Protein backbone atom coordinates (compact mmCIF):
# COMPACT_ATOMS: atom_id res chain seq x y z
CA UNK A 1 0.00 0.00 0.00
CA UNK A 2 1.44 3.33 -1.06
CA UNK A 3 1.58 6.01 1.63
CA UNK A 4 2.11 9.73 1.82
CA UNK A 5 3.01 11.59 5.00
CA UNK A 6 1.45 15.05 5.19
CA UNK A 7 2.50 17.76 7.62
CA UNK A 8 0.18 20.48 8.98
CA UNK A 9 0.68 24.21 8.88
CA UNK A 10 -0.11 27.14 11.11
CA UNK A 11 -3.35 26.77 13.03
CA UNK A 12 -2.72 23.22 14.25
CA UNK A 13 -0.71 24.35 17.28
CA UNK A 14 -1.98 24.11 20.86
CA UNK A 15 -0.38 24.36 24.27
CA UNK A 16 0.48 20.82 25.40
CA UNK A 17 0.25 19.49 21.85
CA UNK A 18 2.95 16.85 22.27
CA UNK A 19 4.07 14.24 24.80
CA UNK A 20 7.72 13.59 25.62
CA UNK A 21 7.03 9.93 26.39
CA UNK A 22 9.21 8.73 23.51
CA UNK A 23 13.00 9.15 23.46
CA UNK A 24 13.10 11.02 20.14
CA UNK A 25 11.07 13.99 21.35
CA UNK A 26 13.27 15.60 24.01
CA UNK A 27 16.46 15.69 21.92
CA UNK A 28 14.66 17.18 18.92
CA UNK A 29 13.25 20.02 21.02
CA UNK A 30 16.68 20.56 22.60
CA UNK A 31 18.22 20.88 19.13
CA UNK A 32 15.58 23.42 18.15
CA UNK A 33 15.98 25.36 21.39
CA UNK A 34 19.72 25.63 20.81
CA UNK A 35 19.06 27.22 17.41
CA UNK A 36 16.31 29.54 18.62
CA UNK A 37 17.91 30.70 21.86
CA UNK A 38 14.89 29.94 24.06
CA UNK A 39 13.26 26.84 25.58
CA UNK A 40 10.87 25.71 22.86
CA UNK A 41 9.64 22.72 24.87
CA UNK A 42 8.63 24.96 27.77
CA UNK A 43 6.71 27.24 25.40
CA UNK A 44 5.03 24.31 23.66
CA UNK A 45 3.99 22.65 26.90
CA UNK A 46 3.12 25.61 29.11
CA UNK A 47 2.60 28.60 26.85
CA UNK A 48 1.50 31.26 27.30
CA UNK A 49 -0.93 30.57 24.45
CA UNK A 50 -0.63 34.11 23.09
CA UNK A 51 3.09 33.68 22.59
CA UNK A 52 2.78 30.22 21.05
CA UNK A 53 0.20 31.62 18.61
CA UNK A 54 2.50 34.46 17.52
CA UNK A 55 3.74 33.57 14.04
CA UNK A 56 7.46 33.68 14.77
CA UNK A 57 7.01 31.17 17.63
CA UNK A 58 4.26 29.05 16.06
CA UNK A 59 6.29 28.15 13.01
CA UNK A 60 9.34 26.65 14.78
CA UNK A 61 7.06 24.91 17.31
CA UNK A 62 5.00 23.15 14.65
CA UNK A 63 8.04 22.21 12.58
CA UNK A 64 9.75 20.72 15.63
CA UNK A 65 6.67 18.83 16.81
CA UNK A 66 6.05 17.41 13.35
CA UNK A 67 9.68 16.38 12.88
CA UNK A 68 9.78 14.72 16.30
CA UNK A 69 6.68 12.69 15.40
CA UNK A 70 8.23 11.82 12.04
CA UNK A 71 11.28 10.39 13.82
CA UNK A 72 9.08 8.39 16.21
CA UNK A 73 7.11 7.01 13.26
CA UNK A 74 10.24 6.28 11.25
CA UNK A 75 11.84 4.43 14.15
CA UNK A 76 8.60 2.47 14.61
CA UNK A 77 8.90 1.18 11.05
CA UNK A 78 6.82 3.62 9.04
CA UNK A 79 7.94 4.50 5.52
CA UNK A 80 6.63 7.06 3.05
CA UNK A 81 6.44 7.02 -0.74
CA UNK A 82 5.71 10.75 -0.87
CA UNK A 83 5.67 13.68 1.56
CA UNK A 84 3.84 17.01 1.39
CA UNK A 85 3.07 19.82 3.79
CA UNK A 86 0.44 22.52 3.97
CA UNK A 87 2.11 25.94 3.82
CA UNK A 88 4.55 25.94 6.77
CA UNK A 89 4.23 22.14 6.79
CA UNK A 90 6.20 22.00 3.55
CA UNK A 91 9.33 22.72 5.57
CA UNK A 92 8.59 19.66 7.74
CA UNK A 93 8.19 17.61 4.56
CA UNK A 94 11.52 18.87 3.24
CA UNK A 95 13.27 17.92 6.50
CA UNK A 96 11.66 14.47 6.43
CA UNK A 97 12.90 13.96 2.87
CA UNK A 98 16.38 15.19 3.88
CA UNK A 99 16.37 18.18 1.55
CA UNK A 100 17.12 20.56 4.45
CA UNK A 101 18.87 19.81 7.73
CA UNK A 102 16.54 20.15 10.71
CA UNK A 103 18.54 22.94 12.37
CA UNK A 104 18.60 24.93 9.14
CA UNK A 105 14.84 24.50 8.77
CA UNK A 106 14.24 25.72 12.33
CA UNK A 107 16.23 28.86 11.60
CA UNK A 108 14.46 29.39 8.27
CA UNK A 109 10.95 29.11 9.68
CA UNK A 110 11.79 31.44 12.54
CA UNK A 111 12.93 33.97 9.95
CA UNK A 112 9.88 33.22 7.81
CA UNK A 113 7.56 33.89 10.73
CA UNK A 114 9.28 37.14 11.62
CA UNK A 115 9.22 38.39 8.02
CA UNK A 116 5.59 37.44 7.45
CA UNK A 117 4.56 39.14 10.68
CA UNK A 118 6.44 42.33 9.83
CA UNK A 119 5.34 42.53 6.17
CA UNK A 120 2.02 44.28 6.86
CA UNK A 121 1.12 46.36 9.95
CA UNK A 122 -1.23 44.52 12.28
CA UNK A 123 -4.82 45.43 11.50
CA UNK A 124 -4.21 46.37 7.86
CA UNK A 125 -4.58 42.88 6.39
CA UNK A 126 -6.15 39.54 7.11
CA UNK A 127 -7.59 36.29 5.83
CA UNK A 128 -11.05 34.73 5.65
CA UNK A 129 -12.43 31.27 4.91
CA UNK A 130 -15.10 31.04 2.22
CA UNK A 131 -17.38 28.00 2.36
CA UNK A 132 -19.68 26.78 -0.38
CA UNK A 133 -18.38 28.43 -3.55
CA UNK A 134 -16.21 26.98 -6.31
CA UNK A 135 -12.60 28.12 -6.51
CA UNK A 136 -13.11 29.93 -9.81
CA UNK A 137 -16.09 31.86 -8.42
CA UNK A 138 -14.07 33.06 -5.45
CA UNK A 139 -11.09 33.92 -7.65
CA UNK A 140 -13.29 36.00 -9.97
CA UNK A 141 -14.78 37.91 -7.03
CA UNK A 142 -11.31 38.61 -5.62
CA UNK A 143 -10.05 39.84 -8.98
CA UNK A 144 -13.00 42.18 -9.42
CA UNK A 145 -12.70 43.60 -5.89
CA UNK A 146 -8.98 44.19 -6.37
CA UNK A 147 -9.64 46.11 -9.59
CA UNK A 148 -12.42 48.17 -8.02
CA UNK A 149 -10.67 49.16 -4.79
CA UNK A 150 -7.39 50.62 -3.60
CA UNK A 151 -6.58 47.34 -1.85
CA UNK A 152 -6.09 43.76 -2.93
CA UNK A 153 -7.54 40.35 -2.13
CA UNK A 154 -6.78 36.95 -3.63
CA UNK A 155 -7.11 33.19 -3.08
CA UNK A 156 -4.53 32.00 -0.56
CA UNK A 157 -5.37 28.40 0.41
CA UNK A 158 -7.23 26.15 -2.02
CA UNK A 159 -7.96 23.66 0.73
CA UNK A 160 -10.77 21.44 -0.58
CA UNK A 161 -13.76 21.69 -2.89
CA UNK A 162 -16.00 24.40 -1.49
CA UNK A 163 -13.42 25.53 1.05
CA UNK A 164 -11.02 28.30 0.12
CA UNK A 165 -9.17 30.92 2.15
CA UNK A 166 -8.70 34.42 0.77
CA UNK A 167 -6.10 36.96 1.86
CA UNK A 168 -5.63 40.70 1.44
CA UNK A 169 -6.05 44.21 2.74
CA UNK A 170 -8.75 44.66 5.36
CA UNK A 171 -11.26 46.70 3.36
CA UNK A 172 -10.93 44.61 0.19
CA UNK A 173 -11.24 41.43 2.25
CA UNK A 174 -14.48 42.62 3.83
CA UNK A 175 -15.95 43.55 0.43
CA UNK A 176 -14.94 40.19 -1.04
CA UNK A 177 -16.52 38.31 1.88
CA UNK A 178 -19.79 40.24 1.43
CA UNK A 179 -19.83 39.55 -2.31
CA UNK A 180 -19.13 35.85 -1.77
CA UNK A 181 -22.14 35.66 0.55
CA UNK A 182 -24.25 37.51 -2.02
CA UNK A 183 -23.22 34.94 -4.65
CA UNK A 184 -24.30 32.01 -2.51
CA UNK A 185 -21.43 31.19 -0.16
CA UNK A 186 -22.61 29.37 2.94
CA UNK A 187 -20.17 31.17 5.20
CA UNK A 188 -17.44 33.81 5.05
CA UNK A 189 -15.43 33.62 8.26
CA UNK A 190 -12.59 36.01 9.18
CA UNK A 191 -9.61 34.03 10.49
CA UNK A 192 -7.69 34.81 13.65
CA UNK A 193 -4.39 35.48 11.92
CA UNK A 194 -2.13 38.48 12.20
CA UNK A 195 -1.22 39.01 8.54
CA UNK A 196 -2.42 38.35 4.95
CA UNK A 197 -0.33 35.26 4.23
CA UNK A 198 0.09 33.81 0.73
CA UNK A 199 -0.72 37.07 -1.01
CA UNK A 200 1.06 39.75 -3.01
CA UNK A 201 1.33 41.73 0.24
CA UNK A 202 4.07 39.29 1.26
CA UNK A 203 6.29 40.31 -1.69
CA UNK A 204 8.77 42.22 0.45
CA UNK A 205 8.99 39.35 2.92
CA UNK A 206 9.53 36.91 0.05
CA UNK A 207 12.49 38.91 -1.24
CA UNK A 208 14.14 38.79 2.17
CA UNK A 209 13.26 35.12 2.59
CA UNK A 210 15.00 34.34 -0.69
CA UNK A 211 18.25 35.60 0.80
CA UNK A 212 17.81 33.42 3.88
CA UNK A 213 17.02 30.36 1.76
CA UNK A 214 20.08 30.92 -0.41
CA UNK A 215 22.28 30.72 2.69
CA UNK A 216 21.13 27.16 3.48
CA UNK A 217 22.31 23.94 1.84
CA UNK A 218 19.64 22.02 -0.10
CA UNK A 219 19.96 18.40 -1.27
CA UNK A 220 17.97 16.27 -3.68
CA UNK A 221 15.00 14.67 -1.87
CA UNK A 222 15.30 11.11 -0.54
CA UNK A 223 11.48 10.91 -0.58
CA UNK A 224 9.44 12.53 -3.35
CA UNK A 225 8.13 15.95 -2.22
CA UNK A 226 5.01 17.62 -3.58
CA UNK A 227 5.33 21.40 -3.36
CA UNK A 228 2.36 23.70 -2.67
CA UNK A 229 2.67 26.26 -5.43
CA UNK A 230 2.92 23.79 -8.32
CA UNK A 231 1.05 20.78 -6.84
CA UNK A 232 3.57 18.25 -8.11
CA UNK A 233 6.90 16.72 -7.20
CA UNK A 234 10.24 18.47 -7.56
CA UNK A 235 13.68 16.88 -7.42
CA UNK A 236 15.98 19.77 -8.36
CA UNK A 237 17.16 21.59 -5.19
CA UNK A 238 17.35 24.93 -7.01
CA UNK A 239 13.71 24.62 -8.10
CA UNK A 240 12.69 23.64 -4.57
CA UNK A 241 14.31 26.87 -3.33
CA UNK A 242 12.45 28.92 -5.93
CA UNK A 243 9.13 27.34 -5.04
CA UNK A 244 9.62 28.00 -1.31
CA UNK A 245 10.03 31.70 -2.07
CA UNK A 246 7.04 31.66 -4.43
CA UNK A 247 4.96 30.02 -1.70
CA UNK A 248 5.19 33.23 0.35
CA UNK A 249 3.10 35.12 -2.21
CA UNK A 250 1.34 32.25 -4.00
CA UNK A 251 -1.66 30.12 -3.14
CA UNK A 252 -1.37 26.79 -1.36
CA UNK A 253 -2.80 24.42 -3.98
CA UNK A 254 -3.75 21.71 -1.51
CA UNK A 255 -6.68 20.23 -3.43
CA UNK A 256 -4.53 19.76 -6.53
CA UNK A 257 -1.64 18.40 -4.44
CA UNK A 258 -3.82 15.66 -2.96
CA UNK A 259 -5.30 14.87 -6.37
CA UNK A 260 -1.77 14.59 -7.75
CA UNK A 261 -0.81 12.15 -5.00
CA UNK A 262 -3.91 10.04 -5.54
CA UNK A 263 -3.13 10.01 -9.25
CA UNK A 264 0.37 8.81 -8.34
CA UNK A 265 -1.08 5.79 -6.54
CA UNK A 266 -1.33 7.00 -2.95
CA UNK A 267 -4.00 5.10 -1.04
CA UNK A 268 -3.16 6.10 2.56
CA UNK A 269 -2.38 9.56 3.93
CA UNK A 270 -0.73 9.80 7.34
CA UNK A 271 -1.02 13.20 8.99
CA UNK A 272 2.15 13.72 11.01
CA UNK A 273 1.68 16.56 13.45
CA UNK A 274 -0.78 18.02 15.93
CA UNK A 275 -4.46 17.77 15.13
CA UNK A 276 -6.53 16.33 12.28
CA UNK A 277 -7.06 19.34 10.01
CA UNK A 278 -5.40 17.83 6.96
CA UNK A 279 -7.15 14.49 7.35
CA UNK A 280 -10.50 16.28 7.19
CA UNK A 281 -9.51 18.22 4.08
CA UNK A 282 -8.17 15.11 2.35
CA UNK A 283 -11.43 13.24 2.93
CA UNK A 284 -13.31 16.14 1.33
CA UNK A 285 -11.01 15.99 -1.69
CA UNK A 286 -10.84 12.19 -2.19
CA UNK A 287 -13.30 10.22 -0.07
CA UNK A 288 -12.01 6.79 -1.07
CA UNK A 289 -8.56 7.15 0.48
CA UNK A 290 -7.57 6.14 4.00
CA UNK A 291 -6.39 8.77 6.47
CA UNK A 292 -4.48 8.17 9.68
CA UNK A 293 -2.97 10.53 12.24
CA UNK A 294 0.21 10.56 14.26
CA UNK A 295 -0.51 13.44 16.58
CA UNK A 296 1.22 12.34 19.77
CA UNK A 297 4.48 10.54 20.37
CA UNK A 298 2.79 7.38 21.63
CA UNK A 299 0.36 7.15 18.70
CA UNK A 300 3.09 6.20 16.26
CA UNK A 301 3.80 3.02 18.17
CA UNK A 302 0.26 1.63 17.89
CA UNK A 303 0.98 0.17 14.46
CA UNK A 304 3.89 -0.49 12.19
CA UNK A 305 4.24 0.47 8.57
CA UNK A 306 3.87 -3.15 7.48
CA UNK A 307 0.41 -3.61 9.01
Instruction: Please write the tens of the pLDDT for every residue from 243-296.
Output: 999 999 999 999 999 999 999 999 999 999 998 999 999 999 999 999 999 987
**Number of compact structural domains in the chain:** 2
Which pLDDT does position 195 carry in this prediction? 87
Print the domain residue range for 19: 3-119+201-302
User: What's the pLDDT band for 118 if we cut at 50, 70, 90?
Assistant: very high
Same domain, 212 and 274: yes
Residue 3 near residue 81 (C-beta atoms within 8 A): yes
Sequence-distant (≥ 6) Cβ neighbours of residue 127 within 8 angstroms: 156, 165, 166, 167, 173, 190, 191, 193, 196, 197
What would the pLDDT profile of 177-211 be if each residue is shown by its tens digit? Answer: 999 999 999 999 999 887 899 999 999 999 999 99
CATH of the domain at 133: 3.30.70.250
Task: Choose the final residue of a domain: 138, 161, 193.
Answer: 193
Percentage, residues of the chain above pLDDT 90: 87
| Mean pLDDT value across residues 156-168 | 97
Of the residues 198, 257, 279, 295, which is catalytic? 198
Active site residue 86: no
> Is 87 labeled as catalytic in the residue annotation?
yes
Residues 252 and 151 in one domain: no
Choose, from 33, 87, 97, 257, the residue flagged as catalytic. Answer: 87
pLDDT value of residue 306: 38
In 114-264, at which residue ranges do the beta strands (DSSP E only) sit? Answer: 125-131, 153-160, 163-169, 187-190, 224-227, 232-234
208 and 146 part of one domain: no
Residues 142 and 281 in one domain: no
Q: Residue 28 domain-assigned?
A: yes
One domain, residues 137 and 205: no
**Mind listing the pLDDT tens digit for each residue in 2-22?**
999 999 998 889 899 988 888
Average pLDDT, the chain: 94
Enumerate residues 6+ apart whose C-beta is below 8 A from 42.
none
The answer on 173 and 55 residing in a single domain is no
Q: Decide: helix, strand or coil at residue 291.
A: strand
Q: Are residues 162 and 211 in the same domain?
A: no
Do 189 and 207 fall within a single domain? no
Say if residue 89 is in the same domain as residue 23. yes
* Any domain includes 90: yes
The predicted-structure confidence for 19-46, as pLDDT tens digits, reads as follows 888 889 999 999 999 999 999 999 999 9
pLDDT for the residue 304: 41
For residue 288, tell me if it sits in a domain: yes
Amino acid sequence: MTKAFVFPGQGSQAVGMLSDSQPEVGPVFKRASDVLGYDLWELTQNGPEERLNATEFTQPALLTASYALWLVAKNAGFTADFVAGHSLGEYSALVASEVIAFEDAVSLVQTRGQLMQAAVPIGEGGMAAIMGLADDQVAAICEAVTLETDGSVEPANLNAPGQIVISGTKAALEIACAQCLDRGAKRAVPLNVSAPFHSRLMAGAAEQMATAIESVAFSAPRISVVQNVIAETVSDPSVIRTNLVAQMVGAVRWTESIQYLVGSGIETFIECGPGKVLSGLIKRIERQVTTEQISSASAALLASADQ
